[in-house]
Structure 1
Amino acid sequence: MVRWWRRPWIVPFAAIVVIFLAFSIPPYLSFDPARSRVPQPPSLGVAHFWLLVPHVLFGSVALGTAVLQIWPRFRRRHPAAHRRIGRVYVFGGVLPAGLCALTIGAYTPYGPSTRASDVVLALLWLGVTAAGWRAARHCRFGEHRRWMIRSFALTASIITNRIWAAVFVIALSPQLDTTFHGDEGLLSWVASSAAAWLGWTLPLLAAQWWLERDHLRTRRVHSRPSASPTPEPALPHP
């Protein structure tokens, strides 16, 4: 059995999730639209905020429970807890957060490209999670694992989205007066769009690459010829 300290990604990832949630949740726990980090689109007004709040809170449930769900040692030692937390992940996290994301994504103030990315992401997130849940219900646990790894990649994409957004804002800001003709709104649209698409496509592609590599490695192990037994020496005829 692989010890937890031999999986160096577990503790750093959990720390990143805790820091991210500690930074992201407080403005929405105040239930004050003025503290929202996302501008309210004129078409929805304050209604956008009241869809954004449950999206953030339920999405935080999904992200927090995902930490335990992807921990191999926890899954092996506590299968009953894994199943219960999995239900919380699906029905108390991804499902309500994804449904809210469909609406707020369709009305995002960051332009049509970001809008398209947000809606596609929400549909994929709901779809792969539903496929993973159905596979588990039918005891197809290998298939369940593959779908849930994809679901986890999309859940965690909110973190990579924020990283890409910071990168693009820093990289594009020197071009504000040239390329963007002083239009901060246009710069925000371009940075948001690039971050939105890269934020979830790269983690999903990485997850798929990892699954394919794992699948090929398993096939190689199973296709290895077993060692032939050494034949016993023939006895001389009397």
Structure 2
Amino acid sequence: MSRAVRRRWWWFLWGLLTVLAFGIAGYFVPPYLVGGTTIPNLDRITPGYYTSLVIHGVPAGIALITGPWQFVHRLRTRFPRLHRVLGRVYLISVVAASVPAAYAAAVTKSGFPLQVAFFALIVAWLYTAAKAYRAIRRREIQLHRVWMIRNYTLTFAAVTLRLYQLPLLALMHSVSWLPYKDVYTVSAWMSLLGNVLIAEWFIIQRTLAPLARREPVAAGNND
């Protein structure tokens, strides 16, 4: 595959990712701001549960729509100050969204498997954010990018969770034995595990593979 073809594919995938991020944030976050929701039969009885979703949704939406711009090389090189500002906004949003998400996961009545999935996502979300911040503070640019790829794929789980729900919801409406709680749980696990695998594949292909291809040449030059 030529370099031009790879670039076109990269921009196509980046554009698709960005459109989906803006679409999901624009569809799911605004209803919370006016006391509504897009989730059917949402629990409004458990104290603080709905409020935690509202507090989580706003910074999570900000992280979702600011993240894609961090991966545009032209933006990073031409506007480094803007890149740093957006990076701070993004990382602060991740932390701000994680705290209410942890409370919502703790009190949800959707079952233990869903709680485990969300807690695993939150821990990984905060851990990768901390590693990305630590790397950039040490000026380890390449390592910072690797951790940011991992972190944003976890942020993007908000999108893939909804995408996985579409066929499962269609199945739910066609059968009587599949409750929405199970649809949501399966979608959460698929989005978490699937996004992690995609992130690692991308890191290997875009970061480690080029380094491995150059290593024998460097070794030969040392002989």
Task: Please classify the TM superposition score into its range, dividing by the shorter chain length.
Answer: 0.7 to 0.9
Which stretch shifts more, 70-79 or 140-149?
Answer: 70-79
Whole-Å separation in 2 of the counterparts to 1:225 and 1:25: 50
**What's the % identity of the aligned pairs?**
25
Whole-Å separation in 2 of the counterparts to 1:75 and 1:201: 29
Corresponding residue for 2:142? 142
Whole-Å separation in 2 of the counterparts to 1:104 and 1:227: 56
Corresponding residue for 1:54? 55
Corresponding residue for 1:197? 189
Q: 1:156: how far off? A: 0.7
1 or 2, which has the higher helix percentage?
A: 2
Contact 2:172 2:180 in 1 (8 A): no
Structure 1, gaps ≥5 residues long: 181-185, 229-238
Q: 1:18: how far off? A: 2.0
1:133 is aligned with what amino acid?
Y
Corresponding residue for 1:90? 91
1:219 is aligned with what amino acid?
A
Higher radius of gyration, 1 or 2: 1
Q: Normalising to structure 1: TM-score of the pair?
A: 0.82
Q: Normalising to structure 2: TM-score of the pair?
A: 0.87
Whole-Å separation in 1 of the counterparts to 2:220 and 2:150: 37
Structure 2, gaps ≥5 residues long: none
Whole-Å separation in 2 of the counterparts to 1:21 and 1:217: 34
1:199 is aligned with what amino acid?
S
Q: 1:113: how far off? A: 1.0
Q: 1:148: how far off? A: 0.6
Alignment of 1:61-210 (within 5 A): 61-91=62-92, 93-176=93-176, 180=177, 187-210=179-202
Corresponding residue for 1:232? none
Q: Does 1:222 align with 2:204?
A: no
Contact 2:44 2:50 in 1 (8 A): no
CA gap 1:77/1:103 in 2 versus in 1, 3 angstroms = same
Q: Does 1:26 align with 2:30?
A: yes
For the residue of structure 2 that corresponds to 1:36, the secondary structure is: coil
Corresponding residue for 1:231? none
Number of aligned residue pairs: 214
1:40 is aligned with what amino acid?
D
Q: 1:225: how far off? A: 5.9
Whole-Å separation in 1 of the counterparts to 2:170 and 2:112: 22
